[in-house]
Structure 1
């Protein structure tokens, strides 16, 4: 059984999300190894949400929730009750609906943001590396990725929504008369930094320095045609706008670094915060952090969002129908094996009775054709009953008529259409979406 624990900017403080973003991922591997109630877990912790997708060993949902809350709270130096009060628990079909919407950017601070699909993909990759995935979680996340690609390539939601980087710069633009004359300092050299450079240059910014707490500034500057800074305070002193986006777990910029009496805009895109919140009290400093940016997040174009949500709803319906249809697969496999075992016995008897190879071949061909015809209708009916949520009737009928039981541990085939079996346009769309996420 799959459940999801979720906390986001809608129901949790940024302080709590910040703490979870540090600790929750480190607790992911222990969630499964230290628990008797969890078969698998995928944990997603981003700048504005925390998600734990859990595959429960039995049906003890309360114990699974308690174990997960305790683990992530301990790892994040939080009180379990505080975490529990901030998360919503989803089960059943709501888990599918939620993940598909999240991965498509429909639940983000800025609707349609492009970063989230890559973050969801990396959460699954981390779970694989930690050995905490299961077949059900794999199917769920793979189909979520396929859905988000479709939303991105077939709707206008990407144009309607803007990334947090671009929204932060848009807010700053109301205070800046000419980006071409503005001196910018970028603190950080990760994927967010590359996105920030592109957004700055779109606005005409030319004078950009980069500083890296990890010492990667020279390499990053050479790659992006920037100026590398080696002294943070000196670089801040020669800048009008400071943008931070590092993965540091402690503030990189302190109030004292900004206290030079100069007017300056500071955009903190880091989570955890890269700028000490007290910097907002420094004279001349205007601090725009993620919480401030989220307050100004625009309402998406209604038509674009409506189209995207309809696509998500359709994908959820298909996923549920496939899951229901496959509920009869183990029983159908057992029935076909039962019938083919009988067929093989009859063919062996025919071979023993008749020494004429040609006659035996004709008999075998006729028997196999007959069995194929006889199996067709039960196979179709099994899928129909599964889609209608009546799979147990098919299983019960096989037991009553033939004494056939499905294998208890039968592995259901994946409902995901393999890339090789998708159409050329679908494969091309997948490739383009992957390239966009990687950038």
Structure 2
């Protein structure tokens, strides 16, 4: 299977390095698709992974091209990219996609956002014209496995999403910092986990209008937050607000928005911090003196919040590293069942692909039989009237033609001592039973051959 992946993820690479690699990673797809070794490419770039999936004519050349392209678009040296990335080929790639879609390879095991990220990565490849039938098949089957796991297990409940963990952690930090907010403990089968906090009565401001922003709005509503506003520097806040039934802040309304917020969740990731010290200081100056600390959760891989903001009085900042360190582990039983489902789906996928690999053989056999049949039909009377004897002769000639080459091959196999191999192959291909095939087979002649070899007459 000509599949390959070039990957860097949170398991082995620090988030700052992932940040550098992800800069411009989406542009790698169109550039790589023009390479002669690449038939198709899908790029997955998230807050904790950068992965380039390749349908390759030449796996080695495609991986090398992917490293060169990633270095170029991210502004990172080729040697540094090579030190940060790993690669896999063939079946390992398929298994990896299935595990990623299932949430088994995530920073928070069982998170559901990654399945949507995979679907959007495939959609982006479609729009760019860089996908291929093989990549389509792999990603769609991975989505099917993910849906089956969601229905058949409680993995998503046991290992919650990055957004959910961040909001629960923010609630706990807010309570410790002086906000009066309930933080009831959530208990799973393996003991207490991160508190699940309510944001009822709070005002939340979401920075960004992408997929994570939508997931954040949904997670806030599950936590009883009814006062949500969105801000975007691109001017897309109005459209997003209309789709999600939230308020929209004007482009120049960031400072007033921060000043009135209890919680800020940023998920833009454009690489240029918008919440810096001057902006935050201006917002803090507009807040009442007795206001609770402003809690800011920066979920962007490329920081939206300047690190210096955490040093300001009256501010609590959470970043991805903090969220990762507090992520709960999924229960072993749910993980095991999810892994079983991935294995079942993988076996089904590989079996189906193996069947499809024989399509050309099947077509060739049908063409061969069809040609022989057409030749016999051409010998029949043009009048269209065929008596029984003519039909029988035509069928005998057709059978003789179809059996000629197998018969020659059988005799050749017997002469070369490969008779049993031929019998087994014949049974596999034609369904002929051993009883039909064994009359005069190599087993019956084995003693004769042995006696002859020993110098005794047969």
Give the TM-score normalised by structure 1: 0.77
Shift of the 194–138 alpha-carbon distance from structure 1 to 2, 3 Å rule, reads: closer
Shift of the 340–143 alpha-carbon distance from structure 1 to 2, 3 Å rule, reads: same
Structure of higher RCO (CA pairs closer than 8 Å, 6+ residues apart): 1
> Is the 8 Å Cα contact of residues 380 and 390 (structure 2) preserved in structure 1?
no
Shift of the 319–346 alpha-carbon distance from structure 1 to 2, 3 Å rule, reads: same
- For 2:233, the equivalent position in structure 1 comes to 213
What per-residue deviation string (whole Å, max 9, x for no partner) do you get for residues 55-111 of structure 1? 22135x1x3222211111110111222221111211121111111111121111112
TM-superposed CA distance for 1:132, in Å, is 2.3
- For 1:426, the equivalent position in structure 2 comes to none
**SS in structure 2 at match of 1:266:** strand
**SS in structure 1 at match of 2:121:** helix
* 1:71-86 superposed matches below 5 A: 71-86=69-84
**SS in structure 1 at match of 2:330:** coil
**SS in structure 1 at match of 2:317:** strand
| Cα distance in 2 for residues equivalent to 1:66 and 1:242 | 41
Shift of the 317–224 alpha-carbon distance from structure 1 to 2, 3 Å rule, reads: closer
| Cα distance in 2 for residues equivalent to 1:126 and 1:104 | 20
**SS in structure 1 at match of 2:52:** strand
> Is the 8 Å Cα contact of residues 6 and 88 (structure 1) preserved in structure 2?
yes
> Is the 8 Å Cα contact of residues 296 and 318 (structure 2) preserved in structure 1?
yes
- For 2:454, the equivalent position in structure 1 comes to none
> Is the 8 Å Cα contact of residues 20 and 45 (structure 1) preserved in structure 2?
no
TM-superposed CA distance for 1:247, in Å, is 5.0
Give the one of 299, 319, 322 matched to 1:289: 319
TM-superposed CA distance for 1:120, in Å, is 1.2
- For 1:385, the equivalent position in structure 2 comes to none
Moved more, 186-195 or 162-171: 186-195
If you compute each CA radius of gyration, which structure gives the higher value, 1 or 2?
2
**SS in structure 2 at match of 1:39:** strand
TM-superposed CA distance for 1:51, in Å, is 0.9
What per-residue deviation string (whole Å, max 9, x for no partner) do you get for residues 240-294 of structure 1? 2211122534212112222337722110122322212222222332211122211
What per-residue deviation string (whole Å, max 9, x for no partner) do you get for residues 126-154 of structure 1? 22233322332222222222222222222
- For 2:218, the equivalent position in structure 1 comes to 198
**SS in structure 2 at match of 1:28:** helix
Shift of the 289–342 alpha-carbon distance from structure 1 to 2, 3 Å rule, reads: same
- For 2:295, the equivalent position in structure 1 comes to 265
Shift of the 206–138 alpha-carbon distance from structure 1 to 2, 3 Å rule, reads: closer
TM-superposed CA distance for 1:222, in Å, is 4.9
* 1:173-184 superposed matches below 5 A: 173-174=171-172, 175-176=174-175, 177-178=180-181, 179-184=199-204
Flag structure 1 segments of 5+ consecutive residues without an equivalent: 379-392, 402-439
- For 1:277, the equivalent position in structure 2 comes to 307
- For 2:268, the equivalent position in structure 1 comes to 246
- For 1:357, the equivalent position in structure 2 comes to 385
| Cα distance in 2 for residues equivalent to 1:138 and 1:193 | 27
Shift of the 156–80 alpha-carbon distance from structure 1 to 2, 3 Å rule, reads: same
> Is the 8 Å Cα contact of residues 380 and 386 (structure 2) preserved in structure 1?
no
Residue 148 of structure 2 corresponds to residue 150 of structure 1: yes
Shift of the 6–367 alpha-carbon distance from structure 1 to 2, 3 Å rule, reads: farther
| Cα distance in 2 for residues equivalent to 1:277 and 1:208 | 25
* 1:264-413 superposed matches below 5 A: 264-352=294-382, 355=383, 357=385, 359=387, 363=391, 367=395
CA RMSD of aligned residues (A): 3.0
> Is the 8 Å Cα contact of residues 42 and 122 (structure 2) preserved in structure 1?
yes
Moved more, 323-332 or 334-343: 323-332
- For 1:413, the equivalent position in structure 2 comes to none
**SS in structure 2 at match of 1:139:** helix
- For 1:122, the equivalent position in structure 2 comes to 120
> Is the 8 Å Cα contact of residues 210 and 221 (structure 1) preserved in structure 2?
yes
Shift of the 361–311 alpha-carbon distance from structure 1 to 2, 3 Å rule, reads: farther
Shift of the 42–226 alpha-carbon distance from structure 1 to 2, 3 Å rule, reads: closer
- For 1:390, the equivalent position in structure 2 comes to none
| Cα distance in 2 for residues equivalent to 1:223 and 1:131 | 28
> Is the 8 Å Cα contact of residues 350 and 360 (structure 1) preserved in structure 2?
no
- For 1:406, the equivalent position in structure 2 comes to none
**SS in structure 2 at match of 1:3:** strand
Shift of the 185–130 alpha-carbon distance from structure 1 to 2, 3 Å rule, reads: closer
> Is the 8 Å Cα contact of residues 251 and 275 (structure 1) preserved in structure 2?
yes
- For 1:255, the equivalent position in structure 2 comes to 277
What per-residue deviation string (whole Å, max 9, x for no partner) do you get for residues 13-44 of structure 1? 212222333311112111121x2322222111
